[in-house]
């Protein structure tokens, strides 16, 4: 693994375990096993590392949301794949509000990401309607409500659930999955609705 990649991988681990604020480039270089000067050869500062990680998270997210035949992407697998990414980059979902206020560039990247996600969500939804997995939402206001509710929950659930836990952990991800399933259920049809109902009835274990 090249040094630049090791810096990114190590940074994700450090940020997830310790939070972004306490970690400095010195912490990162020490964990990677390189000198601070070597790290600065690849990245000017911690903000640049965060931006690169955000780009990576976005790319992986768009890969999950890419058009695929529904037989290859059942509703529960789609939820699982998204929440695995949320957990992989959980420091962003825990701290994004503060991070984007500190870094205007990251803030602009975040807003562009949310805008693209709204578009991808509508495209995927219309595909699922065409394939008989979702019911048609005729009201633009209702569609906006559903889209915003799903994105708001998905991007803030870790902050909310973990704030009440003495030992935050991956069980917050399972709770998040159940909430998304419940939000989608009224608009699901056919096998998708059956799958979501079974998932919810099982307590969230797919």
Q: Which residue's structure tokens are 């890419």?
A: 66
What pLDDT, on the 0 to 100 scale, is given for residue 202?
A: 86
38 vs 175, higher pLDDT: 38
- Taking alpha carbons only, the member of 163, 19, 32, 167 closest to residue 90 is 19
- Taking alpha carbons only, the member of 181, 202, 57, 185 closest to residue 117 is 57
Question: What percentage of the chain carries pLDDT values higher than 90?
Answer: 57
What tens digit of pLDDT does each residue of 70-114 get? Answer: 554 457 888 899 999 999 999 999 899 999 999 999 999 999 999
Angle at 23 between CA 19 and CA 28, to 5 degrees: 120
Q: What is the DSSP string of 99-141?
A: HHHH-HHHHHHHHHHHHHHHHHHHHHHHHHHHTTSB-----HH
pTM beyond 0.85: yes
Please, what are the domains in the chain? Answer: 1-44 (1.10.10.60), 50-201 (1.10.357.10)
Question: What mean pLDDT is reported for the chain?
Answer: 89
What pLDDT, on the 0 to 100 scale, is given for residue 166?
A: 58
């Amino acid at each position: 693994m090249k040094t630049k990649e090791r810096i990114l991988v190590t940074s994700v681990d450090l940020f997830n375990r310790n939070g972004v604020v306490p970690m400095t480039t010195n912490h990162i270089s020490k964990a990677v096993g390189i000198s601070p000067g070597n790290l600065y050869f690849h990245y000017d500062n911690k903000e640049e590392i965060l931006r690169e990680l955000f780009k990576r998270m976005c790319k992986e997210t768009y890969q999950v949301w890419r058009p695929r035949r529904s037989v290859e992407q059942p509703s529960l697998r789609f939820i699982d794949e998204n929440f695995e990414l949320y957990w992989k980059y959980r420091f962003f979902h825990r701290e994004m509000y503060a991070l984007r206020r500190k870094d205007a560039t990251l803030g602009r990247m975040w807003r562009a990401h949310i805008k693209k996600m709204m578009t991808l969500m509508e495209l995927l939804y219309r595909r699922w309607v065409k394939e008989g997995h979702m019911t048609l939402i005729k009201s633009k206001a209702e569609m906006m409500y559903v889209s915003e509710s799903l994105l708001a929950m998905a991007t803030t659930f870790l902050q909310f659930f973990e704030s009440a836990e003495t030992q935050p952990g991956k069980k917050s991800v399972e709770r998040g999955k159940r909430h998304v399933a419940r939000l989608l259920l009224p608009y699901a049809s056919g096998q998708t609705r059956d799958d979501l109902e079974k998932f919810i009835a099982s307590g969230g274990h797919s």
